Amino acid sequence: MIETVVRKRIEILADTPLAKRVTRAIDKVEISGWTILPVQSGSGRDGPWRDERVTGSDKSLILTIASEEKASLLSEELVPILSSHGLLLTMWDVEVVRGERF
């Protein structure tokens, strides 16, 4: 039986030009890694949006996995700019193997 531990999986949807702002916050709270995924289109409070790389108005999904403590620190770091920077932050519990890495 493989041993797993519970960690937080955090996803942040951000305009691509602002992705570095998010990854800097992840690095600041010493979470060991992150992944940026491209996304195609969607709709939110401000209406529909779609991938427009030419105008720089495309969005990215920044994915990271961390301990509950670090996830909480990251939330505190990002909550003040969620509205002003138009970010969407979600997190939930996941089971991971090699828990010491997160």
Site residues for another protein per CB under 8 A: 15, 17-18, 20-21, 24, 46-48, 50-58, 81, 84-86
Instruction: Select from 72, 45, 47, 53 the least CA-distant residue to 15.
Output: 53
Smallest gap from Cβ 32 to another protein, in A, equals 20
- To the nearest whole angstrom, how small is the minimum distance from the Cβ of residue 4 to another protein? 36
Query: Is the CB of 52 or the CB of 68 nearer to another protein?
Result: 52
1 class by beta-carbon count within 10 Å (0-12 exposed, 13-18 middle, 19+ buried)? exposed
**Closer to another protein at the Cβ: 85 or 101?**
85
Distance of CA 94 to the CA centre of its chain: 15
